[in-house]
Chains A and B, each alone.
Chain A
Amino acid sequence: MLKYSIKRLARSLITLIILITIVFALLRFMPEEGYFNNYEKMSPAQIELGLIKMGLKDPLYVQVGRFIRNLLQGDLGVSYRYRVNSPIARIIAPKIAISAKLGIICMAISLPLGLALGVLMARYKGRFWDRLGNAYIVFIQAVPNAVYFIFIQLYGSTWLKIPMLYNENDWRTLILPTISLALPSISSYAMWLRRYMVDETNKDYIKLARAKGVPNTTIWFRHVFRNAVVPIVNLIPGSLLMTISGSIYTESFYSIPGMGGLLVDVIKRQDNNMVLVLVVLFAAVGIVGLLLGDIAMAIVDPRISFTKKEGSR
């Protein structure tokens, strides 16, 4: 188990280094103006001097090495255009905190609700709860979220008088964005769990469990749910980590100063350094999420074995 985790970790690191190199190299093709906040007013000599001073004229491998070394020391570099000369870490840290807070609250609500709905739908397949759940899932998946986001905002703020615009000191301002984020999340958890559970109920070992006289409810939880939840466990760490990337739509809808949309912003402003840091950050989160997901799955599924396969007889 530990050996496997370390092996996977090593592989993830290699992936990350390759990724950093590629993104780094690609960004060097971007116009030089992305490194200066007053590019238009500078003379070619000044630009040249500035680039040399920032080390951008060094060979690429030196630059990559330097970037990674700085990264390891927690130095993400500075922003050139988005917020002039301020350290990137200081720009994104509070944004990450806000997005993660919202995301985690949303997950804490949608995971239990989604799983409960999924169990209910699988248990009463083809009957009322299943139909209701299906209608909900189809609605959420088929209708663009802008539509129901607007309704949530409209009814929430005008009828229920829930304050709309984000205010750090007022927890009520989190209600509407949380609902907006949780609705699709619940539907997808429910959809997948229902599907996995229905798959499991048709398996032979469930028939055997019934044949040996295990009561129905026990079968549903101890056998069906337990087996169906494995692939979902795999997704949880990734979704949890991905909360730091925020949600473009919800955050802009409620003026939440989170991470959502930041990448688009810095690309538009041609802030090369910030683009680099954000792309690397999101990629790292994705890689770590997958890694943790696989480890989590290995914990709940004994079939995933990390030691050398023992010959079965």
Chain B
Amino acid sequence: MLNNGDVILSVKDLHVKFSLRGKVLNAIRGISLDLYKGEALAIVGESGSGKSVLTKNFIGLLDKNGWVDSGEIWYYGLEGGPVDLAQYKTEEQWQGFRGKQVAMVMQDPMTSLNPLKTIGWQIEEALKLHQGLQGEAASKKAIEILSDVGIPEPERRAKQYPHEFSGGMRQRVVIAIAMACNPQILICDEPTTALDVTIQAQILQLIRNLKDKYGLTTIYITHDLGVVANVADRIAVMYAGDIVEVGTCEEVFYDPRHPYTWALLSSLPQLGIKGEDLYAIKGTPPNLFNEIRGDAFAPRNPHPLKIDFLYRPPYFEVSPTHKARTWLLDPRAAKVDPPEIIRHIRNIKLDTMDIKAKNAAEPTAES
């Protein structure tokens, strides 16, 4: 999937802090991540793990009480050479970057459109800003984009107001606005959470189509692993402000290495066994106001190593595309078997690979 090895965005040891009620919260604790041009990266993790905060740094929408404490965010999409977004401090610096380079689709389409402006106007606003279109040309282009995102009768719909649209249609409009910016990177912050299940698949399909059509790099933020499996090339698993495991979709789903990823997958209802209680991760996430020692997941890990409580694990490479932050991958570590469910998925995978291998060995008439 990583057809193109070009890195478009590179995060290096990023630390983001917030000041809340006089205390300092460590929201992002040393994240490093490369985003490749044209890929779909999914960032998964529970609420408060820092998924949104991380991506807000890419578009300069960090809340006022938050700041980049250290680290770099290199963006390579500009013609004038790479820029470090971590150095952007003022609104003026972000002006012209936001939207144009990185656009965003937000969670709740019911509230993310201005209720007093027509849909067409809101798309044209982006067109005027980023594509230099005016008047007739802008409205024409707006209608074109509306039809692009699958809104029927775009000429008529462009003149309507948000309240005349259903939730799914509004999300299409939000996507249309993002597309009107003509960005390099599209951040989708839980784009389907607020939608009906029947609509979710349509919206995901739409985003995927647009990604392919325009060569967009997309970042999905979600806690729905079902979404991830559908759309992502790569997955980054976040826990307590850190990426604990990152790899291709297959690697993370079928060969997870971090105990948190194990726990996360084990708690998938789809993998549960009928009649048995669904697995739940015990305890609560660590308090990010405190300094975290060792592996942040250790206190909730059913089989922690001693060292998990003492030192923070580095990334261990499983494959060139797959790495995880757990001491279990250290050659010196005791052998801990993943939970049964995880072994089960792994076997399914191995079986399918066998079948695939066999198929490859004995080409069928079709291929």
Residues of A at the B interface (CB closer than 8 Å) are 203-205, 207-216, 223, 226-227, 230, 300-303, 310, 312-313
Contact flags (1/0) for B103-123 with A, using CB distance below 8 Å? 110111001111110100000
B198, chain A: closest CB distance, angstroms: 14
Q: Are A212 and B178 in contact (CB under 8 A)?
A: yes
Contacts of A302 in B (CB 8 A): 115-116, 118, 161, 163
Per-residue 0/1 for B186-199: is the Cβ within 8 Å of any A Cβ (1 yes, 0 no)? 00000000000000
Indicate which residue in A207, A212, A216, A223 contacts B126 across the interface (CB closer than 8 Å): A212
A-B contact pairs, 23 of them (CB 8 A): A203-B111, A204-B111, A205-B112, A205-B114, A207-B61, A208-B112, A211-B99, A211-B104, A212-B99, A212-B103, A212-B104, A212-B129, A212-B181, A213-B98, A213-B126, A214-B129, A215-B95, A223-B114, A227-B115, A301-B115, A303-B163, A312-B163, A312-B166
A300 to B115, CA, bound (A): 11
**Residues B112 and A204 in contact, CB atoms below 8 Å apart:** yes
Point out the residues of chain B lying under 8 angstroms from A205, CB to CB: 111-115
Inter-subunit contact A227/B99 (CB<8 Å): no
Q: Per a CB cutoff under 8 Å, which of B111, B126, B169, B177 touches A313?
A: B169
A213 CB → nearest B CB, Å: 3
* Cα(A214)–Cα(B116), bound, Å: 16
Q: Is B279 close to A, CB under 8 A?
A: no
With A226-B116, A227-B116 already in contact, the answer to whether A204 and B164 are too (CB < 8 A) is: no
List 15 other contacts, CB 8 Å, given A216-B91, A302-B163.
Answer: A205-B114, A207-B106, A208-B106, A208-B113, A209-B114, A211-B98, A212-B178, A212-B181, A213-B95, A213-B126, A213-B130, A214-B99, A215-B95, A227-B115, A302-B116
Contacts of B130 in A (CB 8 A): 213
Closest to A230 in B: B116
CB distance from B119 to the nearest CB of A (A): 11
Contacts of A214 in B (CB 8 A): 99, 125, 129
Q: Is B298 an interface residue (CB 8 A)?
A: no
Assembly CA distance A210 to B100 (angstroms): 12
Query: Which listed residue (B114, B115, B126, B165) contacts A312, Cβ 8 A?
Result: B165
Q: Are A312 and B164 in contact (CB under 8 A)?
A: yes
Q: Taking CB as reference atom, which chain B residue is nearest A209? A: B114
A213 touches B164 (CB 8 A): no
> Does any Cβ of A come within 8 Å of B296's Cβ?
no
CA distance A227 to B161 in the complex (A): 14
In contact, B111 and A211 (Cβ under 8 angstroms)? no
Q: Is B174 an interface residue (CB 8 A)?
A: yes
Contacts of B161 in A (CB 8 A): 302-303
Given the interface pairs A227-B116, A310-B164, A313-B169, the reply to whether A213 lies near B174 with Cβ below 8 Å is: no
Give the most central of A210, A226, A300: most B CB within 10 Å. A210
Chain A's closest residue to B108 (CB) is A204
Chain A residues, CB < 8 A from B99: 211-214
User: Do the beta carbons of B112 and A210 come within 8 Å of each other?
Assistant: no
> Whole-angstrom distance from the CB of B184 to the nearest CB of chain A?
13
B59 within 8 A of A: yes
CA distance A91 to B93 in the complex (A): 66
Separation in Å of the B347 CB from the closest CB of chain A? 43
Q: How far is the CB of B288 from chain A (nearest CB, A)?
A: 23
Task: State A16–B61 Cα separation when bound (angstroms).
Answer: 53
Return B131 CB to nearest CB of chain A, in Å: 11
| 1/0 contact string of B224-248 vs chain A (CB within 8 Å) | 0000000000000000000000000
Contact residues in A for B163 (Cβ distance below 8 Å): 302-303, 312
Residues of A within 8 A of B95 (CB): 213, 215
Contacts of A210 in B (CB 8 A): 61, 98
CB contact under 8 A between A213 and B114, given known A204-B108, A207-B106, A313-B169: no
What 6 A-B pairs come out closest when comparing CB atoms? A213-B99, A211-B104, A204-B111, A213-B98, A204-B112, A212-B99
Nearest opposing residue in chain A for B118, CB measure: A302
In the assembled complex, which residues on chain A have CB atoms less than 8 Å from the CB atom of B118? 302
